[in-house]
């Protein structure tokens, strides 16, 4: 089974993307996974990022469909 998380970097020039990964990850550990895979514009963005499990939200998964990274 897998999970899908939105990763949000807040701020004036913030951005968001999604990560699909196995179900062993949670809202905090998925940020480290995204950092390890070079998904942030700047590495320090991971310090401010917020992860949210959107696995059960078809609406959110569809909204992030074009920017979901499978890891």
Provide the pLDDT confidence category of residue 5 given band limits of 50, 70 and 90: very high
pTM of the model: 0.91
Q: Is the pLDDT of residue 1 over 90?
A: no
Contact 40, 9 (CB under 8 A): yes
Average pLDDT, the chain: 95
Contact 54, 5 (CB under 8 A): yes
Residue 20's pLDDT is what?
97
Residue 42's pLDDT is what?
97
Contact 19, 4 (CB under 8 A): yes
């Amino acid at each position: 089974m897998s999970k899908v998380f939105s990763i949000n970097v807040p701020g004036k020039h913030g951005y968001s993307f999604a990560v699909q990964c196995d179900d062993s990850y949670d809202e905090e550990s998925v940020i480290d996974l995204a950092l390890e895979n070079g998904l942030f514009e700047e590495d320090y963005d991971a310090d401010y990022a917020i992860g949210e499990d959107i696995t059960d939200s078809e609406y959110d998964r569809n909204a992030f469909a074009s920017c979901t990274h499978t890891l």
